[in-house]
Amino acid sequence: MNRNNGLYLVIGALTVVVIGLGIYVYREETKPQGVELSIGRDGVSIEQK
């Protein structure tokens, strides 16, 4: 019975990792795009990312 408990623990841990990675990737892909503002010798440069 102990061997089955270990197997369930490994499957549960892998499930948590896959769900966590999926949430992370989803949040990174749906991040709002930003604007980069730089001021240099040539003046002000605004670049949308």
Predicted confidence pLDDT, tens digits, the chain (49 residues): 578 888 999 999 999 999 999 999 999 888 877 888 889 888 888 887 7
Helix (H, G, I), strand (E, B) or coil at 30: coil
Per the listing, tokens 């966590």 go with: 20
- pLDDT at residue number 16: 97
Q: How far is the CA of 27 from the CAs of 4, 19, 24, 30, 38, in angstroms? A: 35, 12, 5, 5, 27
- pLDDT at residue number 21: 97
Measured between alpha carbons, how far is 25 from 47 in angstroms, rounded to an integer?
25
Phi-psi region of 37 (alpha: psi -120 to 50; beta: other; left: phi over 0): beta
Indicate the pTM of the whole model.
0.60
**Residue boundaries of the structural domains of the chain:** 2-48
